[in-house]
C-alpha cells in the first residue's frame, strides 16, 4: 500500500470539503497545517535567510521534498519558492482533478510559521500556488511582512520573478 | 406595520464616523435585534463583546489593517487589484483608491467607530448552524442600527485567517482554543460622517432567481465576467 498516496487522498478530501465551505478564502484558514512538524525541529537563525534555509534543510532532510529553492525580492515582501518532489504533490493533483484551485502549501506554511515565531514577522500570506504536476514541482509566491511598515510595499511581481530568473538568484537545498 | 424592505434596501456600509457617542439605549436596541435572529433549534450560540475603549479599538483597527493590507498588497503585486479597479477611469483617483486598499487603511476604521461589537459563537452551545446563526444576528444588528439612523459595517477581515482570529481573541480575552468560540466578525457602528448615498447597485432579480429548478429562466443570464464588472455598466438596468 502506498501510504503517502493514502494520506494525500485524505488530505485532499478535507481540503475539498473546506473549499466547499469557504470557497476562495479557504487558504486563509489553513496556515497552521504543517507547523507541528517544523515546531518540533529546533529551527535556529537570527535573520530571515537563516530561518528560511534552516527550515528548508529540515524539510528536505525529513524527506518531505526532494529539492527546494527560494528567492526573496520586491522590497523583501515577495518570497518565491520552488518545491520539487514534494510528498504532498498528490494532494494538489487530486484537488486539480476536481476543479479546485490549489490553496494550501504545507511547506510554505512551515516557513511562514518560523518567520513569525522566531523573528517576530508581522504576518505572511500565501498568494499563489502553481502546480506543474507533469514535471513534479510547484512554485509558490507568498508575501512576507517583517513589520507593519511593510504592509503596502508593492512591486510588480512578474517583473521581480523575471529578474530572479535572469540573475539566477535562487538558493536551493536538496535532500 | 411599515415595509421593512425600505430599511433593507436603503442600508449601506458606513466606514467613516463622527466622534459623537452612541447612546447606550441605542446599543441595547442593536443587541436586542440580534437576540431575535433565527437560530437553529433555538441554540442561540451568539455572544457579543461591546467595545468602546479606544486602546482596544486601536488594536482591532491595526489587526484589520494588517489582515486586509497583507492580502491586498499581494493581490496588487500580482496585478489582480488593478484589474478589479479598472472601472475607475481617472488614473490619479484609481491609484489613490488602490493605495487605500493595499495599505490596509480601508479596514482601519475600528479606531474611529465609537462602538465595535465583536460577534462570536459558542461551539459548545451551537451546532452546525453557528456561522449562519451569527450571520443572521449581524444582519439584524445592521438593520436595527440603520433604522435608528446609525451607520455600520460588517467586518470579517481581522478574523479571516486562523492566526489573526487567535490574535483577535487575545485582544478581547476570549479563550483561544479552536474548540470553544468561533469569532466570525465584528460590526462597527456610529453616526455616519459620510453623506448617505444610495447603496451600490445590485444585480436585478432575474439574474439571481430560477423558477422551479436550476437553470430555468426566460432571460439570458450574465456571464461571470459581466457579473464581476457589474458596476461598470451604465445606469440602465441597475
Give the list of residues 6+ apart from residue B71 with CB closer than 8 angstroms, or none: A28, A125
Instruction: Give pLDDT, residue B217.
Output: 75
Instruction: Give pLDDT, residue B235.
Output: 40
Query: Is B1's pLDDT higher than 90?
Result: no
Low-confidence ranges of chain A (pLDDT < 50): none
pTM equals 0.91
The tens digit of pLDDT for each residue in B5-56 reads: 999 999 999 999 999 999 999 999 999 999 999 999 999 999 999 999 999 9
Instruction: Give pLDDT, residue B191.
Output: 97
Q: What is the DSSP letter of B173?
A: T
Residue B15: how many CB atoms within 10 A of its CB? 20
Query: Is B223's pLDDT higher than 60?
Result: yes
Query: Is B178's pLDDT higher than 50?
Result: yes
**Topology of A3-174 in CATH?**
Muramoyl-pentapeptide Carboxypeptidase; domain 2 (3.30.1380)
Q: What band does B236 get if pLDDT is binned at 50, 70 and 90?
A: very low
What nine digits make up the cell of A22?
A: 469557504
CB A23 within 8 A of CB B160: no
Q: What proportion of chain B, given as a percentage, has pLDDT over 90?
A: 71
Instruction: Give pLDDT, residue B233.
Output: 44
State which residue of chain A sits closest to B158, comparing Cα positions: A28
CB atoms B69 and A151 under 8 Å: yes
Instruction: Give pLDDT, residue B237.
Output: 34
Partner-chain residue, chosen from A28, A124, A154, that has the shortest CB–CB distance to B102:
A154
Preferred mutation among B161, B166, B167 to probe A, highest tally of A CBs within 10 A: B161
- Is A77 at the interface with chain B, CB within 8 A? yes
Q: In Å, how far are A113, A168, B134, B138, B203 from B154, measured between CA atoms?
A: 29, 45, 12, 8, 20
State which residue of chain A sits closest to B98, comparing Cα positions: A152
Span B99-114, mean pLDDT? Answer: 96
Whole-angstrom distance, CA of residue A86 vs CA of residue A7: 13
What sign does the dihedral B161-B162-B167-B171 (CA atoms) show? positive
pLDDT mean across residues, chain B: 90
Instruction: Give pLDDT, residue B50.
Output: 98
> Cβ contacts (< 8 Å) between A158 and chain B: which residues?
78-79
Which sequence spans correspond to the domains of chain A?
A: 3-174
Instruction: Give pLDDT, residue A133.
Output: 93
Taking the CA of residue A118 as centre, how many other CA atoms within 13 Å lie in the half-sphere pointing to its CB?
23
- Report which secondary-structure segment, H or E, holds B170: helix B162-171
- Report which secondary-structure segment, H or E, holds B27: helix B24-35
CA of A2 vs chain B CAs: smallest distance (Å): 32
CB atoms B76 and A127 under 8 Å: no
Partner-chain residue, chosen from A31, A128, A142, that has the shortest CB–CB distance to B161:
A31
CA of A36 vs chain B CAs: smallest distance (Å): 14
B72: left (phi > 0), else alpha (psi -120 to 50), else beta? alpha
**Which residue from A142, A154, A26 is spatially nearest to B69, judged by alpha carbons?**
A154
Q: How many helices (H) and strands (E) does chain A have?
A: 6, 5
CB atoms A28 and B160 under 8 Å: yes
Instruction: Give pLDDT, residue A3.
Output: 95
Whole-angstrom distance, CA of residue B46 vs CA of residue B139: 13
Instruction: Give pLDDT, residue B238.
Output: 29
Instruction: Give pLDDT, residue B229.
Output: 63
Partner-chain residue, chosen from B62, B76, B162, that has the shortest CB–CB distance to A154:
B76
Query: Is B231's pLDDT higher than 80?
Result: no
Instruction: Give pLDDT, residue B202.
Output: 86
Main-chain dihedrals φ then ψ at residue A87, nearest 5 degrees: -70, -15
Taking the CA of residue B95 as centre, how many other CA atoms within 13 Å lie in the half-sphere pointing to its CB?
3
Instruction: Give pLDDT, residue B128.
Output: 80
- Is A31 at the interface with chain B, CB within 8 A? yes
Give the position of cell 439612523.
B149
Whole-angstrom distance, CA of residue B77 vs CA of residue A150: 13
Which sequence spans correspond to the domains of chain B?
A: 4-190, 202-238
What sign does the dihedral A51-B79-A27-A103 (CA atoms) show? negative
Span B163-177, mean pLDDT? Answer: 96
- Report which secondary-structure segment, H or E, holds A92: helix A89-97
pLDDT top residue among B3 and A133:
A133
CB atoms A128 and B78 under 8 Å: yes
- Chain A, 135 to 154: residues with Cβ < 8 Å from chain B are 141-143, 145, 148, 151-154
SS3 B91: helix
Instruction: Give pLDDT, residue B232.
Output: 53
For the domain spanning B4-190, the CATH number is: 3.40.109.10
Amino acid at each position: 500500500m502506498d501510504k503517502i498516496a493514502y494520506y494525500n487522498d485524505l488530505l485532499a478530501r478535507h481540503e475539498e470539503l473546506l473549499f466547499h465551505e469557504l470557497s476562495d478564502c479557504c487558504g486563509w484558514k489553513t496556515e497552521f497545517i504543517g507547523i507541528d512538524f517544523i515546531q518540533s525541529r529546533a529551527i535556529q537563525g537570527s535573520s530571515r535567510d537563516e530561518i528560511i534555509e534552516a527550515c528548508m534543510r529540515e524539510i528536505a532532510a525529513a524527506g518531505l521534498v526532494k529539492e527546494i529553492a527560494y528567492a526573496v525580492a520586491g522590497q523583501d515582501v515577495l518570497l518565491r519558492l520552488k518545491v520539487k518532489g514534494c510528498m504532498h504533490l498528490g494532494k494538489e493533483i487530486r484537488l486539480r482533478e476536481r476543479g479546485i484551485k490549489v490553496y494550501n502549501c504545507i511547506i510554505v506554511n512551515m516557513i511562514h510559521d518560523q518567520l513569525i515565531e522566531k523573528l517576530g514577522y508581522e504576518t505572511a500570506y500565501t498568494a499563489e500556488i502553481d502546480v506543474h504536476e507533469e514535471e513534479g514541482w510547484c512554485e509558490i509566491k507568498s508575501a512576507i511582512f517583517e513589520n507593519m511598515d511593510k504592509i503596502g510595499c508593492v512591486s510588480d511581481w512578474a517583473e521581480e520573478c523575471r529578474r530572479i530568473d535572469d540573475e539566477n538568484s535562487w538558493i536551493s537545498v536538496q535532500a | 406595520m411599515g415595509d421593512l424592505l425600505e430599511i433593507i434596501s436603503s442600508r449601506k456600509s458606513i466606514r467613516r464616523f463622527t466622534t459623537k457617542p452612541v447612546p447606550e439605549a441605542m446599543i441595547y436596541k442593536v443587541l436586542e435585534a440580534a437576540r431575535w435572529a433565527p437560530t437553529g433549534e433555538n441554540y442561540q450560540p451568539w455572544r457579543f463583546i461591546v467595545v468602546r475603549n479606544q486602546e482596544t479599538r486601536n488594536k482591532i483597527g491595526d489587526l484589520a489593517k494588517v489582515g486586509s493590507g497583507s492580502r491586498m498588497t499581494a493581490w496588487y503585486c500580482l496585478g489582480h487589484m488593478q484589474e478589479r479597479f479598472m472601472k475607475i477611469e481617472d488614473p490619479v483617483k484609481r491609484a489613490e483608491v488602490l493605495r487605500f486598499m493595499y495599505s490596509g487603511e480601508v479596514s482601519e476604521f475600528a479606531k474611529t467607530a465609537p462602538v465595535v461589537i465583536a460577534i462570536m459563537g459558542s461551539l459548545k452551545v451551537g451546532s452546525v448552524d453557528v456561522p449562519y446563526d451569527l450571520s443572521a444576528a449581524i444582519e439584524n444588528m445592521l438593520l436595527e442600527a440603520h433604522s435608528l439612523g446609525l451607520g455600520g459595517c460588517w467586518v470579517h477581515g481581522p478574523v479571516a485567517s486562523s492566526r489573526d482570529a487567535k490574535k483577535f481573541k487575545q485582544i478581547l480575552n476570549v479563550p483561544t482554543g479552536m474548540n470553544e468560540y468561533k469569532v466570525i466578525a465584528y460590526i462597527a457602528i456610529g453616526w455616519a460622517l459620510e453623506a448617505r448615498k444610495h447603496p451600490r447597485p445590485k444585480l436585478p432579480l432575474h439574474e439571481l432567481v430560477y423558477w422551479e429548478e436550476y437553470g430555468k429562466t426566460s432571460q439570458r443570464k450574465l456571464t461571470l465576467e459581466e457579473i464581476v464588472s457589474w458596476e461598470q455598466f451604465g445606469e440602465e438596468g441597475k
